[in-house]
Amino acid sequence: VTPTTYSLTGLTTSVAHGGTIQFSAVGGYTGTSAVPVAYTWAMVSGAGSINSSGLYTSVSAGTDIIKVTDGLGNITQVTITVT
């Protein structure tokens, strides 16, 4: 199976400390209707956090990087500046 175009939506790259951004993934491989595969969200670096639904929460000023992985292991990242 070849993944389709794979990108993140909600690409706000700046947020105030304590703020949140809701990310969602578009495209990529998510399984079949019979066997769906969820995207996996994770922090690459920084003090913030991201949950399994793509909700990022900033903690302190600096730079955070998040990533999302599709069912085939394709990864897309975004860098967030926290002010």
pLDDT tens per residue across span 19-62: 998 888 877 777 777 777 788 999 999 999 999 999 999 999 99
> Which of 18, 71, 16 is CA-nearest to residue 49?
18
Higher pLDDT, 38 or 3: 38
Q: What is the band of 10 on the pLDDT scale with cuts at 50, 70, 90?
A: low
CB distance 50 to 24 below 8 Å: no
